[in-house]
Amino acid sequence: MITKEEVEHVGWLARIEIDEKESDAYAQKLNSVLDYFEQLDEVDTENVPPTYHVADIMNVFREDVVKPSMPQEDVLSNTENKQEGNFKAPRIM
Amino acid sequence: MAAWTDISNIKQKIADSSAEEVTAAYIETIGKSKINGFTTVWDEAINTAREIDSNGHDGPLAGIPIAIKENISTKGLSTTCSSKILQGYVPPYDAHVIERLKEAGAVILGKTNMDEFAMGTSTESSCYGPTFNPWDMSRVPGGSSGGSAAVVAAGEAPISLGSDTGGSVRCPAAYCGVVGLKPTYGCISRYGLISYANSLEQIGPLATTVSDIATIMDVVAGYDSRDSTSINRENNYSDALKDDVKGMKIGVPEEYFGEGIDKDVEKSVWDAISKFEDMGATYEKVSMPHTKYALASYYIIAMSEASSNLARFDGTRYGLRAEGENWHVMASKTRAEGFGTEVKRRILLGTYALSAGYHDKYYLKALKVRTLVKQDFDKALANVDVLMAPTMPASAFKIGEKIEDPLSLYLADVNTVPINLAGVPSISVPCGFVDDMPVGLQIIGKQFDENTIIKAAYCFEQNTNHHTRRPREVA
Amino acid sequence: MVYENPDGVRIGLEVHVQLNKLNTKLFCGCSTKYHDSEPNTHVCPVCLGLPGSLPVINEKAVEYAMKIGLALNCSIVEQTQFHRKNYYYPDLPKGFQTTQYDFPIAGEGKIVIEGEDGERVIGITRAHMEEDPGRLQHMGSIDKSKGTLINYNRSGMTLIEIVSEPDMRSPKEARRYLDKLRSILDYLDVFDGDLEGAMRVDANVSVFMGERVEVKNISSFKGAERALLYEIMRQKNHIRRGGEITLETRHFDEARGVTLSMRTKETENDYRYFPEPDLVPLRVADRVPEILKTLPELPDAKRARFVKEYDIIDMHARALTTEIKVANFYEDVAAKVDPKAAAVWVADILKGELNYRDLNIDAFNVGDIAEIITLVTEEKITESSGVEIIRTILDNGGKPQDIVKEKGLLKVEDDIVAKAVEEAIAENPEAVADFHAGKEKSMNFLVGKVMQKTKGRADAREAREKLIAKLSE
Ligand SMILES: [Zn+2]
């Protein structure tokens, strides 16, 4: 069971503002899904390794050769919040 | 003029008139559309067609219009994943598949609607509003590539690209009565595809014929050094277009006909299997005992990966930015405002599933179950050439029917998600109608054995006429 | 003498080394040579975290990481992979940092430093690869600024994070550890430590075996020593006042020389590590033999060889091998002149003069120092003249020969005059007696004799002074 408080905490971890009114509704919907997930507890996974990748490949590399970067104009083209070639954001804390 | 048609037909039209006229006709049709399948029509499309006319082009898709899902990056053309948070975002680069399409001479018509960040089965959660099913405007087109399937079904584009994380190409293909392929994981470069769940998804083509699917695959599939999970493997997909399934062994997994399946859908699929028997194939029932757990495993993995993939949308470099007294508050408000409810739910669940204390219970457990699901496929496919099952347990549902109940929406994916967990290829082809709504047959193959499922689908198409029926509403 | 460590100080360091000698970043082809460039000119979709971009590992970065691991006597892991470390910060364009987690490329290792009471082994816990975030510039102080400017040129640079065991017992030992690490990394030629941000340090400090406090934002070695001194004092004072040290992260304020608590909602984290699905596992342990072959002779081995091969004292060998450039310089000099003399001149004299001027060994020429050493060992000039030549070269430039001439430093000139003075006195007892009797003129006679004997090379006034000095003995 995920509680209202946990929803708010997870919301902060995920940087999604959730006000108190919403957290109840989220908790309810999330719990119905989490209840469904509970069925995995039935499965015996002792000695079963996890599958992170379906493709059985490894050691994929790139050579240390420089490729062109983007022009600064393109880098900053998707924001209005810029100053002297930098992105501009509110203060950190 | 534009209508339900295929590549060879359009090539003839281009020869008879011009690429420009063909493209213009599609743009005109889109202009009159009632289904809300396109989010943007590219103003460069007509110029591209004109250039092909004047300079000539010998690419396999020269002058062929194509629609692209909103989550595939197109340089200079808005790519938003149908989300408010990416409003105004114009990628400064092309996805690998877009580069390939451009080289092949394809004309990018525009972008198609989808469930926000591909999280859905109905294309209702888009910030552009829902796309309607051309067969019945009160029904969903399926999702998440609902726009890509609907515009092909409605004759607004002959072919399109979608993406399939847990059925997002096959589901709308089935609901809209078109063909859709989810290739083997690693078959098509994901470079430029905006990630929802990286370890599960592939870009996939949609078209009115199996032959067109093979043609598109010949263009977009293949190795790309920019995607570390791309597999270096040569293949010619059009070689598979042979009308011959004699001796083909079909496995029919009982679990895909479980509770919740519509009896008429079930009948259509069995009729299709009988048809294969008539054509010289044999079938046997197989058991894939972990199928029942695939859905939970899939959703946990997809949500976990998504919670991290979608972290970059923080209002700093592109897209929406809300006001906030500091950066963290700005980011939280931007994300609260910019993401829709279902996306937020999935991010929260994914964050929860990865968080301290729950990681092993949810995320790690899901990955272990994934192993078991994959083993089911390895075992089943060891003895048969392909597996056949209904793509969706029922035909397209009504708009608004499931939107308030996430779990019921998730349950619709029960037959498509196991394929993504295993990374194997699967194609959905029209195999009948239930109450005038299309039904899809799902043909599942071994890893990188696209050609066998393409051959089976092609053979079925050549010997049936389900694919020739067109939607009344928009024809 | 055994160091008692009266305050039970335990220091562990996490050092981030930026592999700026690679041509490209860790996961994309952007150039690493951004240090003098305009902001956001060395970025691409990958290191800017644009939607849809995907990482591909720089093979050379993995080789460099293995090289570093092996040089620190670490074991190289059989199989590794990259993980995502999820947290929100504006310098992190993807909302996660791609790093290594449960299987770092290099496992346990060790290095030897000069501790408070002789040689001391410092354990290396691990060394792992990760990407560097972008760079933030606060428009004012971190908590009151008007805003933050973000430059992603640094984003995606390869970092190796080297984590030590809490084996250091004083800020001095920590400093020695950092110097040793820097020395080894210099030898490996994997980074240019003089570039801004090439080495960044976080420290874990505890006293009296208490809880450890993490100190972040240390940007120089000198800063590390200051931060540690402050933090140890702070903890001791806190305990003395009856307080308790709890696990926390503090921020070093370089300008004020203090550490500040950073406990806020924003710094609270749950990193939710999981394997990066966009990258596949690495299995590179089979390359170890090949990479071992490329490892250069490292400082400790070189030091031992210098002692043996050149028969020099250990103190000199240590001083000569700290920096690879100095070691190479010394060997070039030792090939031309007596290695023992070379050791004294390079380690004691030249290095001192260079340090005094904040210069490095590049500022001096092997040929010049060899020439100076030769002049001294052949007794053509005095040792102090040798030092003077070094100083003159460093301050004004020039070649040893010219400086010797200009300054008349050749000992030979002196000797000739002195010899002539002695002869003149010995051969002319009458004139000497006259001089003693107060006849000043006899001095002119003696000077004339000296001038005759030196064929005019002596300076008359100098000859007079020398004669007077001799006769007054
Ligand atoms: Zn880059």
The full 3-state SS of chain C, as one line of letters, equals: CCCCCCCCCEEEEEEEEECCCCCECCCCCCECCCCCCCCCCCCCCCCCCCCCCCCCEEHHHHHHHHHHHHHCCCCECCCECCEEEECCCCCCCCCEEEECCCCCCECCEEEEEEECCEEEEEEEEEEEEEECCCEEEECCCCCCCCCEEEEHHHCCCEEEEEEECCCECCHHHHHHHHHHHHHHHHHHCCCCCCCCCCEEEEEEEECCCCCCEEEEEECCHHHHHHHHHHHHHHHHHHHHCCCCCCCEEEEEECCCCEEEECCCHHHCCCCCCEECCCCCCECCHHHHHHHHHHCCCCHHHHHHHHHHHHCCCHHHHHHHHCCHHHHHHHHHHHHHCCHHHHHHHHHHHHHHHHHHCCCCHHHCCHHHHHHHHHHHHCCCCCHHHHHHHHHHHHHHCCCHHHHHHHHCCCHHHHHHHHHHHHHHHHHCHHHHHHHHCCCCHHHHHHHHHHHHHCCCCCCHHHHHHHHHHHHCC
Average pLDDT over chain B, rounded to an integer = 96
Count of other CB atoms within 10 angstroms of residue C404: 22
- Whose CA is closest to C56, among B221, A52, B223, B225? B225
pLDDT in single tens digits along all 473 residues of chain C: 789 898 999 999 999 999 999 999 999 999 999 999 999 999 999 999 999 999 999 999 999 999 999 999 999 999 999 999 999 999 999 999 999 999 999 999 999 999 999 999 999 999 999 999 999 998 877 667 789 999 999 999 999 999 999 999 999 999 999 999 999 999 999 999 989 889 999 999 999 988 999 999 898 888 999 999 999 999 999 999 999 998 889 999 988 999 998 877 777 789 999 999 999 999 999 999 999 999 999 999 999 999 999 999 999 999 999 999 999 999 999 999 999 999 999 999 999 999 999 999 999 999 999 999 999 888 788 788 899 999 999 999 999 999 988 887 776 566 778 888 888 898 989 888 888 888 888 888 888 888 888 766 667 787 888 888 888 87
**Given an 8 Å threshold on Cβ–Cβ distance, is B311 in contact with A15?**
yes
Cβ(B128)–Cβ(B15) below 8 Å: no
Share of chain A above pLDDT 90, in %: 91
pLDDT of residue A24: 93
Q: What is the pLDDT of residue B259?
A: 84
C414-471 to CATH, choices 3.30.43.10, 1.10.10.410, 3.30.160.70, 1.10.150.120: 1.10.10.410
**Which residues on A lie below 8 Å from C136 (Cβ)?**
92
The complex's ipTM? Answer: 0.98
The strand pairing partners of B108, in sequence order, are: B66
Q: Is B180 helix (H, G, I), strand (E, B) or coil?
A: strand
Of A11-20, A56-65, C454-463, the least confident: C454-463
B89, B318, B355 ranked by CB distance to C272: nearest? B355
Distance A9 CA to ligand 1 centre (A): 34
**How confident is the model over B156-184, as a mean pLDDT?**
98
> CA nearest C93 in B: which residue?
B312
Whether A54 and chain C come into contact, CB under 8 Å, resolves to: no
Which positions in chain B touch C95 (Cβ < 8 Å)?
Answer: 308, 310-314
Between CA B407 and CA A24 the distance in angstroms is 17
Within-domain flag for B397: no
List the subunits that have 3+ CB pairs under 8 angstroms with C.
Answer: A, B
Instruction: Tell me the angle at which helices C366-377 and C383-396 cross, rounded to the nearest 10 degrees.
Output: 160
Q: Which residues of B touch C274 (CB under 8 A)?
A: 304-305, 308, 354, 359, 363
pLDDT at B63 over 90: yes
Distance between CA atoms of residues C454 and C447, nearest Å? 11
Sign of CA dihedral C400, C405, C409, C412: positive
Q: How many residues in chain A?
A: 93
Q: Of the residues B126, B148, B168, B297, which is catalytic?
A: B168
Is A84 part of any domain? no
Contact between chains at C93 and B351 (C-beta distance less than 8 A): no
| Chain A residues closer than 8 Å to C24 by CB | 62, 64-67
Mark yes or no for CB contact B199/A53 under 8 Å. yes
CA of C28 to the centre of ligand 1 (A): 5
The answer to whether A37 touches A61, Cβ cutoff 8 Å, is: no
CA B209 to chain CA mean position, Å? 15
How far away is chain C from the Cα of A88, in angstroms, using its nearest Cα?
A: 5
Angle between the N-to-C axes of helices A20-37 and B341-354, in degrees from 0 to 180, rounded to the nearest 10: 60
CA of C42 relative to ligand 1 center, distance in Å: 7
Q: Rounded distance, CA B289 to CA B376, Å?
A: 7
Interval B202-251: pLDDT, tens: 999 999 999 999 999 999 999 999 999 999 999 999 999 999 999 999 99
Contact B215, C267 (CB under 8 A): no
> Is B122 an active-site residue?
no
Q: Which chains touch B (3 or more CB pairs under 8 A)?
A: A, C
C384 in Cβ contact with C416 (< 8 Å): no
Query: Between A and B, how many residue pairs show a Cβ–Cβ distance under 8 A?
Result: 164
Asked whether C147 and C139 are in contact (CB, 8 A), the reply is: yes
User: Which residue in B308, B262, B310, B251 sits closest to B284, CA to CA?
Assistant: B251
- CB spacing of A58 vs C283 below 8 angstroms: yes
Residue B401 lies in a domain: no
- Among candidate residues B83, B144, B160, B268, the one labeled active-site is B144
Minimal C-alpha gap between C17 and chain A (Å): 18
Contacts of C279 in chain B (CB under 8 A): 228
**Does some domain include residue B464?**
yes
Cα A69 to ligand 1 centroid, rounded to whole Å: 6
Range of the domain at A8: 1-42
A64 and C283 within 8 Å at the Cβ level: the answer is no
Flag if A37 and B374 touch (Cβ within 8 Å). Answer: no
To the nearest 10 degrees (0 to 180), the angle between helices A20-37 and A4-13 is: 90
Across A65-74, B400-409, C196-205, C332-341, least confident range: B400-409
Tokens of B23: 């493209």
Domain count, chain B: 1
Measured between beta carbons, the chain B residues lying within 8 angstroms of C89 are: 327
Report percent pLDDT > 90 for chain B. Answer: 95
pLDDT digits (tens, 9 = 90+) for B459-470: 999 999 998 898
* Residue A11 domain-assigned (yes or no): yes
Element (H, E) at B173: helix B170-176
CATH number at B214 reads 3.90.1300.10
Catalytic, B69? Answer yes
Measured in angstroms, how far is the CA atom of residue A70 from the centroid of ligand 1?
Answer: 8
Q: In the structure, what pLDDT confidence band is assigned to residue B1 with cuts at 50, 70 and 90?
A: very low
pTM of the prediction?
0.92
Q: Would an 8 Å CB–CB cutoff place B89 in contact with chain A? A: yes
Tell me, yes or no, whether B317 lies in a domain.
no
- Distance from Cα C45 to the centre of ligand 1, integer Å: 6
Chain-centroid distance of CA C337 in Å reads 26
- Nearest to C108, CA basis, from C142, C140, C73: C73
Is residue B66 within a helix (H) or strand (E), and if so which, with residue range? strand B65-69
**Chain A neighbours among C 14-43 (CB < 8 Å)?**
22-24, 28-31, 38-43
Contacts of C9 (CB under 8 A, 6+ apart): C168, C169, C170, C205, C206, C207, C232
Q: What is the pLDDT of residue B475?
A: 47
Q: Does C286 touch chain A (CB under 8 A)?
A: no
Output DSSP code: residue A63.
-
Considering only CB atoms, B93 lies closest to which of C45, C55, C266, namely C45
Structure token digits, residue C3: 């160091």
Helix (H) or strand (E) segment spanning residue B354: helix B341-354
d(CA C185, CA C60): 16
Active site (annotated) includes residue B263: no
Q: Is A1 on the interface with B (CB under 8 A)?
A: no
* CB-based burial, C240-253: b 16+ in 10 Å, e otherwise: eeeeebeeebbbbe
- Indicate which CATH number applies to the domain containing A25: 1.10.20
- Alpha-carbon gap, residue C401 to B107, rounded angstroms: 77
Q: Is the Cβ–Cβ distance between A35 and C31 less than 8 Å?
A: no
Q: Can you read off the two tokens belonging to residue B317?
A: 């470099």
Number of domains making up chain A: 1
Structure tokens at B19: 């690429």
Residue closest to B298 by CA, chosen among B362, B251, B389: B362
- Asked if A26 and B299 come within 8 Å (Cβ–Cβ), the reply is no
Q: Looking at residue B159, what is its pLDDT?
A: 98
Give me the pLDDT at residue C362, please. Answer: 94
Q: Give me the residue from C29, C277, C282 closest to A67, CB to CB.
A: C29
Task: Out of A52, A69, A89, name the one closest to residue C150 (CB).
Answer: A89
- The helix (run of H) or strand (run of E) holding residue B426 is strand B426-434
Q: Where does residue A56 rank: exposed (0-12), middle (13-18), buried (19+ CB within 10 A)?
A: exposed
Give the mean pLDDT of B145-160: 97
Q: Which of C304, C303, C308 is nearest to C326 (CA)?
A: C303
Q: At how many degrees (to 10) do helices B7-16 and B19-31 cross? A: 120
Do residue B227 and residue C54 have CB atoms under 8 angstroms apart? Answer: yes
Residue among B290, B344, B423 whose CB faces A55 most closely: B423
Residue type, B157: A
Q: Quick check: A43 contacting C, CB < 8 Å?
A: no
State in Å: Cα C452 to ligand 1 middle.
80
H or E element at residue B207: strand B202-207
